[in-house]
Amino acid sequence: MWLVVGLGNPGARYERTRHNIGFLVVDRLVEKTGAHSLSSSSFHGDLYKKSSTLFLKPTTYMNRSGIAVQAVKNFYKIETEKIIVIHDDLDLPFGAVRFKKGGGSGGHNGLKSIDAMVGSDYLRVRMGIGKPAYKSQVVDYVLHDFSEEEMRRLPEWIDHAAEATLELTKHPLEKVASLYSVKKPEWNAR
């Protein structure tokens, strides 16, 4: 059994923010696979299933994402190595997609929470959102909606990440990374 987690914050206010790219990819995966909803408040999130893959959008807010991941992991007895977390990454340019297993949180509160609850030995799909000019602007930047230009690029980027994520459930990380990594997309002028 695989658990694919998209990080984000619940509610309409955060729906199109940079911090919610993980939610947007999971929405696309649910649509693409035809996964069905599993309702239970004990999972602390929106949970969907298609064959041997679970898709989770924690509703605990970003800095408490680990609570939802741990609840689903424990209930379904999923090994940490079979967890894929899709998240925004300030250290990558907008539109980049990179892959990694384990490592530090890079200051990402969602990853910090997951690391504290289940360890850090899970797979990561890192979605580059770029970064603001000054460190003091980070919180406002990640909780701000994508720009109009970025919004035009989202469907292609989300589809690419969704396809790569499904491939991670079938093939080794190295193979998927070699086929799907995007350091800086051609359309990114930044």
Instruction: Tell me the pLDDT tens digit for each residue of 84-130.
Output: 999 999 999 999 999 999 999 999 999 999 999 999 999 999 999 99
pTM of the model: 0.95
Residue 107 sits at φ, ψ, to 5 deg, of 85, 0
Report in angstroms the alpha-carbon separations of 31 from 50, 83, 159.
11, 20, 11
Residue 188: the pLDDT is: 58
Q: What is the CATH number of the domain that holds 163?
A: 3.40.50.1470
Is 19 part of a structural domain of the chain? Answer: yes
Q: How many domains does the chain have?
A: 1
Q: What is the pLDDT of residue 187?
A: 61
Is 132 a domain residue? Answer: yes
Residue 190 within any structural domain of the chain: no
Q: Is residue 187 part of a domain?
A: no
pLDDT at 3: 98
Residue at 185 is within a domain: no
- Tell me whether residue 144 is one of the annotated catalytic residues: no
Nearest CA among 25, 1, 3, 7 for reference residue 155: 25
* Domain of residue 81, residue span: 2-180
Give domain status of residue 134, yes or no. Answer: yes
In a domain, 38, yes or no: yes
Instruction: Tell me how far apart the alpha carbons of residues 105 and 114 are, in angstroms, rounded to a whole number.
Output: 9
Q: In this structure, are residues 19 and 61 in contact, taking their beta carbons and an 8 Å threshold?
A: no
Name residues of the chain where pLDDT drops below 50.
189-190
Q: Is residue 89 part of a domain?
A: yes
Instruction: State the catalytic residue, choosing from 19, 44, 87, 108.
Output: 19
Contacts of 38 by beta carbon, 8 Å cutoff, 6+ apart: 47, 48, 49, 54
